[in-house]
Structure 1
Amino acid sequence: MQPLVTIAVPSFNQGRFLDDALASIFQQQVPVEVFVMDGGSKDNSLDVIKKWAPQLAGWRCRTDDGQAASINEGIALGSAKFVCWLNSDDWFLPGGLITLLSALQSHPETPAVYGRSWNVVQKTGKRAPVWVEPFNESRLALRCIVSQPATLIRRSAWDAVGGVDGQLHMAMDYDLWWRLYRQLGALHFVDDFVAVNRDHEATKTKTLRYRHYREAMAVVRKYHGSIPMKWWLVRPYSVWVKSIIGKFRMI
């Protein structure tokens, strides 16, 4: 059966999570082609990749130019009509991908669809819904209202905007939603939980919080024209206070 979805799985030293991510993909009732793009991990990632190799459309393990470049590389290797990426520390919920696929096929006018996702704290198992809401430019300018692991994109739309920006390292997904919207139209919201975002101590949003905010604010300025006051009001707490709290928790 021809694959309907191309999935890139960027990974670097995430062997302890990678197995869960791949298992969640292959449990979906959707024909997929999966490309694992590993950045030269030194942990057990290669063992995990080899375990799944018979089901993968392709994989590699070598030094690369970062997450965004790996995503673009993986998507380019495939040919399915719909595309997405799943970070190696996230996973799909059962039936999540078919939910997104059905929505995208039912709304030919939209370049991409996105659903709801859970944020699960690795250390405690506590979960909470990621902040997601129906697509609206003014709301998108206030925060990223699209949950990346819960998205599915038309390949034609992906190709039209050139994939993710390889120069970005923190907000490449936020930037992509803006470019899809500006060039091709609003994304469609699906009010169902379809994926899980794993919250752990090594995520870039925790370890590089200042850089994350700086990139995100630059994205808003670029596509919205100005940065809403909310960013300036929330930034001191989100960047400085949370960063300090996080450091003490890791001691």
Structure 2
Amino acid sequence: MKNLEQNNNIFELDKTYSTTRRVTKQKPVIENNSEDKVKTQLFLPAKPDRKAEGGLRCQGYFKSNEKDKPLISVITVVFNGEKYLEQTIQSVINQTYDNVEYIIIDGGSTDGTLDIIRKYEGMVDYWVSEGDEGISDAFNKGIELCTGEMIGIINADDWYEVDAFKLIINNIGKGDVIYGNQNYWINNSDFETWYPIHSSLPREMTMNHPTVFIGKNMYKKLGSYSSIYKIAMDYELLLRFFKNGVTFIKIDNVITNMRSDGESDSRWYNGYYEEFIIKRNINGRLFLLEFIYFLLKVIRRLVSLLLIKAKLQKTLFWFRKNFSPVKKQKPHEYL
């Protein structure tokens, strides 16, 4: 172990990984105010159905939110995600930025997920495997466990670009929500780059949470994910933040890679319907206007599914990728 900062007792467990380059044996002091809508805790309270927990915190190692090295916290929620989880973990622990806190919330997996998590236990700050009440509940557990200044959430079948966290840190202080572009993969063989824009949020879901980093202070002020929604909970949160005047900062680089076979893709109709309800509740627009837009989105998705069935979507991706005037960023791959 190598001492990096004598005054703060920061040292290096392993220089190889972003999550083990700056640790401390000094347990952080957690301060929760009565008005905070999200509280912070280092460990989740015990539950009867808990399968296991572990990580660096359980070994007495913690992270520090340093002045010149802000701590980035990352959450992965997973349930039976053995197929791609290792790639997701690799994309976090192999970041070029070196003050990273990693939290994994497992919903009580019955496949090989726990074996993969245990394999990387020495690079994960805290992980727990237990039942939950859905994706929003798992997200919110992770947020409560984060001690970093900025928080990102990456799905168990997606992965970050290797310099993603450096790009976020370079823009910290400019906004409370920092986001970038993402590569959207179809059938693990071809991708299309998406360019989200926050100003379009009142119209539709134009941003996906894996490419978004949010300040912990914003969660404390405005709350976390609503348990009412099962698919579009990230849209509700981002639109709520936008409507409350939160500052969004866009990075014109690819931050994440997202696969097309996630939960929101398999239940796309439910997600679109939830978006429709969310817009009605938050925007307060006319019912007919929002319903027409909902129908148009459904039709557009059905056409896309027909193209996939006819094996034409790859062709469309190829044309857009090769003839778009915007230069594409080659994705970083792990494993």
TM-score range, shorter chain: 0.7 to 0.9
The answer to whether the aligner puts 1:222 opposite 2:268 as a matched pair is no
> Could you tell me which amino acid in structure 2 is paired with residue 144 of structure 1?
M
> Could you tell me which amino acid in structure 2 is paired with residue 39 of structure 1?
G
Q: 1:9 aligns with which of 76, 79, 93?
A: 76
The answer to whether the aligner puts 1:113 opposite 2:181 as a matched pair is no
- Whether the 8 Å CA contact 2:273–2:294 is kept in 1: the answer is no
Q: Computing the radius of gyration over CA atoms, which structure comes out larger, 1 or 2?
A: 2
Moved more, 182-191 or 153-162: 182-191
User: Among the aligned pairs, what percent are the same residue?
Assistant: 21
The answer to whether the aligner puts 1:76 opposite 2:153 as a matched pair is no
The answer to whether the aligner puts 1:232 opposite 2:295 as a matched pair is yes
Query: What's the counterpart of residue 193 of structure 2?
Result: 129
Other structure's SS at 1:23 match: helix
**Counterpart-to-counterpart distance in 2, 1:244 and 1:194:** 29
**Counterpart-to-counterpart distance in 2, 1:204 and 1:27:** 26
Deviations 1:226-249 (A, max 9, x none): 2544333232342x5656787999
Q: 1:89 aligns with which of 153, 157, 160?
A: 157
The answer to whether the aligner puts 1:24 opposite 2:83 as a matched pair is no
TM-score (norm 1): 0.87
> Could you tell me which amino acid in structure 2 is paired with residue 167 of structure 1?
I
Q: Which has the higher contact order (CA 8 A, sep 6+)?
A: 1
- Whether the 8 Å CA contact 1:8–1:74 is kept in 2: the answer is yes
Q: 1:54 aligns with which of 122, 128, 150?
A: 122
Deviation (angstroms), 1:37: 0.5
Other structure's SS at 1:65 match: coil
- Whether the 8 Å CA contact 2:75–2:103 is kept in 1: the answer is yes
**Counterpart-to-counterpart distance in 2, 1:101 and 1:146:** 20
**Number of residues of Structure 1 aligned to a counterpart in Structure 2:** 239
Deviation (angstroms), 1:78: 2.2
Query: What's the counterpart of residue 217 of structure 2?
Result: 156
The answer to whether the aligner puts 1:211 opposite 2:270 as a matched pair is yes
- Indicate how the Cα distance of structure 1 residues 128 and 169 shifts in structure 2: closer, same or farther if over 3 A, else same: same
> Could you tell me which amino acid in structure 2 is paired with residue 209 of structure 1?
W
Deviations 1:92-129 (A, max 9, x none): 10101110222123x0xx321110010012x3410001
> Could you tell me which amino acid in structure 1 is paired with residue 272 of structure 2?
Y
- Indicate how the Cα distance of structure 1 residues 60 and 247 shifts in structure 2: closer, same or farther if over 3 A, else same: farther
- Whether the 8 Å CA contact 1:142–1:231 is kept in 2: the answer is no
Deviations 1:29-84 (A, max 9, x none): 13111111011111110111001111111111122111111111012112111112
Structure 2, unaligned stretches of length 5 or more?
1-21, 23-63, 66-70, 312-335
- Indicate how the Cα distance of structure 1 residues 146 and 207 shifts in structure 2: closer, same or farther if over 3 A, else same: closer
- Whether the 8 Å CA contact 1:114–1:147 is kept in 2: the answer is no
Moved over 4 A (4+): 240-249
Q: 1:171 aligns with which of 232, 243, 266?
A: 232
Structure 1, unaligned stretches of length 5 or more?
none
- Whether the 8 Å CA contact 2:184–2:260 is kept in 1: the answer is yes
TM-score (norm 2): 0.66
- Indicate how the Cα distance of structure 1 residues 213 and 17 shifts in structure 2: closer, same or farther if over 3 A, else same: same
Deviation (angstroms), 1:194: 1.1
> Could you tell me which amino acid in structure 2 is paired with residue 231 of structure 1?
F
